[in-house]
A and B are shown apart, each in its own frame.
Chain A
C-alpha cells in the first residue's frame, strides 16, 4: 500500500496529483481492459443497465401476451414476434425463460456483486484496490462470452432456451441448440462470479485499513462478504449440474434421463437417471442465489437509511448475525421449491420447518431498520425514499413467503402467480429499488457530480406506483389459481374474468418501463451537467466519502486510519452530526481519560 501523508493540497485536490508514481494508463487500459476496481464497477453498472433494458423488453412481451393474447405486438413485435408481430406459444415460453435469465444472471447478480461490490469494497475498507486486480478485470470480461452465447441463441435454429430459467430436464433436453448455448452462457457467468467471489473474500479479509476491524465494517461490506462466501460454496454445484446437463444433451450420458423415456415419440438410447436430481442440484445453487440477489441490497439499504436518519444503525451486531443466519439457513431450504415435485414428502416437512425459520432473521432485519429510522432526523432524499420503499416492500415479499413455506398452502399456490408476485416483490420492489437508491447515493462518488433530486423523486414516485400496480395484483391472480408460464390462460373458463386485471397490469408494466427513461436521462445528463459533488456530499461516515470524488487511481490521497464504526451519526463526542470513521477522536479533556487508540491492524 502506498504511504502518502495527507497534505492540505491533496485533501482538497481531485486526487490525481497525489499518485504521480502511478504511470498514466492508456485509453484502453483505463476504460476497456481496466484493472481499476472503480472502472470495473462502472463497466458492470453500465452493462447491467443495458441488460435491464433487454430484460424489460422481454417482460413487456410476456405482459403483452397475457393482456392481449395473440394480438400483434406493436413495435417489439416486428423484431421478435412470429409473423405479423404475433407472439406464438413457443415464442412466449422463450420470452419468459429469457426474461428470467437476463434479469437474474445479467442484471441482478452482476449489478450487486459486480458493480457495487467492485466499486465499494476497496473504498469502504480503505484499500487501494482489490487484492487481485487482473482477476477482477477477467471477472468482467468473462461476462462477455455469456452475453454472446445467450445473444446468439436467439438466432440459432429453434431460438433461445425455452425450458424456463430453471431448465428442468427432461424438457430442457428436448430443446434445440438454444439450450446448449444457455448452458454455456450460464457456465461463463458462474466463472465470472467465482472470480469476483474469491477476490472479494481475499480483499475484505486482507486489505482492510489500519483500525478497520471486522465489526467496524459497514453492513454493505458484511453483506458482500457473506454473499461472496455463498457464491463460493453454491456455484460449483450449479456448474457441475450444468455440465451434466450439457453432457446429457451432447454426448449421450443419462444423468437426468429415466429408463424407458421417450420424447417426440422416439425412445432415447440412454437412461437410468433421475429428473429430480437436477432439481435438487439446481436449487441447491439457486436458493442461496436468491440470497445472493438480496443480501447486498440489504447491506446498502442499511447504510443509506442510517446516513439519512442521522443516527447509528439500530442493532449493528444483530444485523450482521442475521445476514449470517440467512446465509447459513439458505443452504438448507432449497427443497421448498420442490414440495410438489414428487420429492419424498417427509423431506418436504423438514424443508418446511427450515423455511419457516429463515423468515426470522429477515424479520429481525426489518425491525432493526425501523429502529434505525426511529428517533432520527430524517432527510427525504431520493436515495432515502428508495431505501425506505425497500423496507416497506420487502415486508410484503417476506410475508407472502410465509404462505408458500406452508406446505399445504403451497400445494395450491405453487406455480401460480402468487409465486410470481412473491419473487417480484423481493427482486424488483426489493433489490431493484435498493439498487436505484444505491445509484442515487453513490453516484457522486462514482462520477463526481450529483444526480438531479427533483427528477429522482419523480422517478421514485412513478416507479413505486407502477410496480405495485403490476406486482401486487399478481397475488390476487395467484389466489384464483392463475398458473404461471401459460401462453394463453384464457383457454380455461376459470380465468376468463381476470382479463381486465391483466390489461391493467400490462399498462402498469409499460408505465414502469417508460418511467425508467426519466432515470436514464437523469443518469446521463448528470454526468455532464450535474452540480459538482464534494468529497462528502451526504455528510456520511464511511471511508469512501473521505476519498476524492471521483477517487483517482489508488483511491485515497492519504493513508486512512479507522477509529470507529461507520454509523456514529449524531455522536455527542463531536459538534457535527456525523463522525467520519477516520476522524481522530477529540483530545481528552482530563489526563486520566485515555484517548481511544486505533485497534491493531489485522494480521
Chain B
C-alpha cells in the first residue's frame, strides 16, 4: 500500500503535465483570432493579435518553462524521497531514519538559486510593463503618426488629447466618444471635455489597425475593466480617473471587448466589440457615423416610395 501512495503522488504531476501538453490543440490556450473571423472555431493556441501581447505571451512561456522545470524537479524529488523512505520501513529492514537536523550548504544553495531565478524574471519583464503602462515609455511617436495619417493635429490644438476615442464604462455598457469633423470635413482631435461635434457609439469601438492607438478610459459609476482578450489588454476604469490606454491591433478584425471587473448584476453582459480596420476605412466609417448621427429623421418622399 505504501508503494501505491508513492506512485499516487507521482501519477498526478504526470497527468497535469499531459493535460497542459494537449491543451493548445484542444483550444484550451491563449485566444488568438477574433470570433468574427470566418474560420473561427475557438482559439487554437492562438498568439496575441498585438505586438505587446506577443511579448506578454513570450514572457508567459518563459515563466512556464522555468516553473515546469521546477515542478518536475520538485515532484520527482518528492517521489524519490518517498519511495526510498517507504523502502526503509519494509519488514526486516532495521535501518533507522537519518538523524539530521539539516545542512547549511544545502540551505544556502536552495536560497541563492531560486533568488537568482526570481530576480532574473523580475528584471526581465520590466521593460514590457514600462512600455505598456508608463506614460514616458509609450510609443508616442507612432501614436502621433496615426493621428497624422487620419489628418489630426492634436499638438497644435489646445485642450486636445492624443487619444482617438474616449471609452466610458457604465452599468452595463461601454459608451464611446469619438472626435467629430469640422465644417470642412476634416477630422478634429479628441478634446478632453465633450465637444458639440463629437460622435458617439455604444458597445462598438472602431479604431485604426496596424499601428498603436490610444484611448482615454473613464467610468461613470463603479469600477469596470477594459479587457480585450485577443490583444492581451486589460485596464480597470476607475470613477474619477481618466486613464490613457494604448494598444496595437496587428490585423483588421473584430475582437471581443468585455468587462473584467465586477460591476454589478449585469457584469456578464457588458459585451462590446472592437473593430480594428485600416485607417482609411476608419475615417470612412466615421463619416458614416456622422451622417447617421446628424440624420434629422426627415426622409425624402422618393425614398419612401422606393422602399414601398
Residues of A within 8 A of B99 (CB): 311-312, 570-572
Are the C-beta atoms of A261 and B221 separated by less than 8 Å?
Answer: yes
Which has the most chain A C-beta neighbours within 10 Å: B27, B118, B230? B118
Is A270 interfacial (CB-CB < 8 Å)?
Answer: no
Task: Point out the residue from B81, B102, B221, B268 that lies within 8 Å of A487, measured CB to CB.
Answer: B268
Number of B positions contacting A (CB below 8 A): 103
Task: Give the number of residue pairs across the A-B interface with Cβ within 8 Å.
Answer: 320
Number of A positions contacting B (CB below 8 A): 108
Are the C-beta atoms of B236 and A342 separated by less than 8 Å?
Answer: yes
Task: Point out the residue from A359, A360, A366, A377 that lies within 8 Å of B88, measured CB to CB.
Answer: A377
Docked Cα-Cα span, A564 to B32, in Å, equals 61
Is A532 interfacial (CB-CB < 8 Å)?
Answer: no
Minimum distance in angstroms from B215 CB to a CB of chain A: 14
Task: Point out the residue from B43, B119, B236, B239 that lies within 8 Å of A480, measured CB to CB.
Answer: B43
Are the C-beta atoms of A93 and B264 separated by less than 8 Å?
Answer: yes
Are the C-beta atoms of A258 and B256 separated by less than 8 Å?
Answer: no
Are the C-beta atoms of A373 and B81 separated by less than 8 Å?
Answer: yes
Q: Which residue of A lies closest to B233 (CB)?
A: A411
Is A156 interfacial (CB-CB < 8 Å)?
Answer: no
Q: Which residue of A lies closest to B264 (CB)?
A: A171
Are the C-beta atoms of B243 and A342 separated by less than 8 Å?
Answer: yes
Is A14 interfacial (CB-CB < 8 Å)?
Answer: no
Q: Which residue of A lies closest to B135 (CB)?
A: A345
Are the C-beta atoms of B102 and A479 separated by less than 8 Å?
Answer: no
Is B261 interfacial (CB-CB < 8 Å)?
Answer: yes
Minimum distance in angstroms from B116 CB to a CB of chain A: 10
Which has the most chain A C-beta neighbours within 10 Å: B30, B97, B258, B263? B97
Is B115 interfacial (CB-CB < 8 Å)?
Answer: yes
Minimum distance in angstroms from A290 CB to a CB of chain B: 18
Minimum distance in angstroms from B187 CB to a CB of chain A: 29
Are the C-beta atoms of B67 and A356 separated by less than 8 Å?
Answer: no
Residues of A within 8 A of B235 (CB): 340, 342
Docked Cα-Cα span, A473 to B111, in Å, equals 31
Docked Cα-Cα span, A317 to B263, in Å, equals 46
Are the C-beta atoms of B268 and A488 separated by less than 8 Å?
Answer: yes
Is A462 interfacial (CB-CB < 8 Å)?
Answer: no
Docked Cα-Cα span, A90 to B268, in Å, equals 11
* Residue-wise interface mask of B (68-93) relative to A, using a CB-CB cutoff of 8 A (1 in contact, 0 not): 00110011011001101110110000
* Residue-wise interface mask of A (261-279) relative to B, using a CB-CB cutoff of 8 A (1 in contact, 0 not): 1110000000000111000
Q: Which residue of A lies closest to B258 (CB)?
A: A492
Residues of A within 8 A of B9 (CB): 388-389, 392
Is A318 interfacial (CB-CB < 8 Å)?
Answer: yes
Task: Point out the residue from B41, B53, B241, B260 that lies within 8 Å of A483, measured CB to CB.
Answer: B260
Is B14 interfacial (CB-CB < 8 Å)?
Answer: no
Docked Cα-Cα span, A468 to B15, in Å, equals 10
Docked Cα-Cα span, A509 to B133, in Å, equals 38
Are the C-beta atoms of B75 and A395 separated by less than 8 Å?
Answer: yes
Docked Cα-Cα span, A162 to B67, in Å, equals 36
* Residue-wise interface mask of B (216-257) relative to A, using a CB-CB cutoff of 8 A (1 in contact, 0 not): 000011110101011011111111110100000000000010
Quick one: which of A399-452 are within 8 Å of B by CB? 399-400, 402-403, 406-409, 411-412, 414-416
Is B63 interfacial (CB-CB < 8 Å)?
Answer: yes
Is B202 interfacial (CB-CB < 8 Å)?
Answer: no
| Nearest 5 Cβ contacts at the A-B interface | A258-B240, A375-B98, A378-B85, A315-B102, A345-B133
18 more A-B residue pairs beyond the given contacts A312-B101, A315-B103, A479-B23, with a C-beta to C-beta distance below 8 A: A162-B264, A164-B262, A168-B223, A315-B106, A345-B134, A349-B126, A377-B97, A406-B59, A408-B129, A409-B63, A415-B260, A480-B29, A481-B229, A483-B260, A489-B268, A492-B271, A497-B27, A577-B96
Complex A-B: 5 CB contacts under 8 Å: A258-B239, A260-B240, A395-B74, A480-B43, A480-B229
